[in-house]
Amino acid sequence: MSVYTQLTDDQFAAFCQSFGVSFARAIPITQGIKNSNWFIQTTDDVDGTYSYVFTLFEERPPADIEKMAVILNQLNGKLPVAAPLAVIKSNSAQADGEDKRYVIHYENKAITLVPCLAGSHPEQTTQAMCHDIGAALAMLHETLQALQPSEQYGVPLYPWSEVRDREMQFMPGDEAKLMSDIWRAYSELPLATLPKGLCHLDMFADNTLWNLQKGEARLTGLLDFTEVSVEHYVMDIAITINDFCTTWGVAEQGESVNFDRSKMAAFLQGYESTRPLNNDEKRALPVMLAKAAVIFWLLRLNVIHYNRTEGRTGDNIMVKNPDLMKRLAAYHWAHVEKSQNTVFVLLCKTDNQIVGVFSSITQAEQAQEKLNSSEFAIKEYTLDQLS
């Protein structure tokens, strides 16, 4: 359970009243590792039900959360999101044209109250769910292009290179090399050609809600927009794929990490039904998958670091295992290294003469299309085999 700041019932009642909500009870929420969250039961709710989520943002400044409220209002109606309630003015009604406030300040921290969305977090995902979340993420990217300049609405990206430099000092040599190799490969991508815009950057399955009754899986909620930043769309895609397309084993099963490439294909099909990827994005995706895993590896190490330095202890503190993301990063990097050592050869079927050698299957297929495709075949070789 992640509750870092403790509030009394009287404080909850006062804060909720500022949003026009009559408070009855606060129930801590167990998910999340950065903010303090509670379900709010109102005086109109029957026992066991609750209408709102109360969030106290432990790190983000209130100005960032105000931007988040604008973003959620932009998405509202196109995607299932919970837009923050407006603060009720105590002295007068809201004047026409006056900007609404969605944030209350408490000890220099922001508080919001949002309606609960129906649905539940999925324990496992399916190919159909991966397709649907892909389409939803593409709609998010397309819709938020209306907020310009995008830098005005996104929060700054976290300085992960600083966390990397700190943590690599204490890593075994093989782990440090893995992280360094992936970071280098990322820096060598044609980043300037990759489309950018406002991205969610934390679209894990536990930040989504689904109607899972009667064998169906219908998306009913997208949660946690605190990390929305200007970033390459393909990075947001990679972050979402890494969680939705991976089966994470529980501790009793050795905390296995099993990535499903068929789920990734379904996700990409869903995404491209709304926003097709360009060739540079497709080529960058394998490295982005590895880099995204590295970022969340560092994020979990960073949470452990701050819990230790700030003395955060107790049953209310949840820490996710950073080793899982390390293993996912290693899996993706192995595929990158294999592709770097693989070429695609276009051969004449009649005499096996080499017509061309290509670094990607896409390039080989394009060359095949320009020729008589029935007379030529594509075969995959490692560089050692070719020599």
Q: Give residue 386's pLDDT.
A: 60
pLDDT exceeds 50 at position 281? yes
CB atoms within 10 A of CB 251: 7
CATH architecture for segment(s) 9-115: 2-Layer Sandwich (3.30)
Residues of CATH 3.90.1200.10 domain(s) within the chain? 127-339
Distance of alpha carbon 282 from alpha carbon 264, whole angstroms: 13
Residue 237, pLDDT > 50, answer yes
* pLDDT tens sequence across 77-127: 999 999 999 898 755 444 444 567 889 999 999 999 999 999 999 989 999
Q: In the chain, where does the domain assigned CATH 3.30.200.20 lie? A: 9-115
pLDDT, tens digit, 9 for 90 and up, residues 185-213? 999 999 999 999 999 999 999 999 999 88
Q: Which residue, 301, 137, 330, 336, is CA-closest to 231?
A: 137
**Assessment of whether the complete model's pTM goes beyond 0.95:** no
CA gap 278, 149 in Å, rounded: 23
Range scoring the smallest mean pLDDT among 110-119, 235-244, 287-296, 336-345: 336-345
Closest C-alpha among 70, 102, 107 to residue 86: 102
Asked if the 127-339 domain carries CATH number 3.90.1200.10, the reply is: yes
Residues whose CB is less than 8 angstroms from the CB of residue 236 and which lie 6 or more positions away in sequence, other chains included: 137, 141, 199, 200, 201, 203
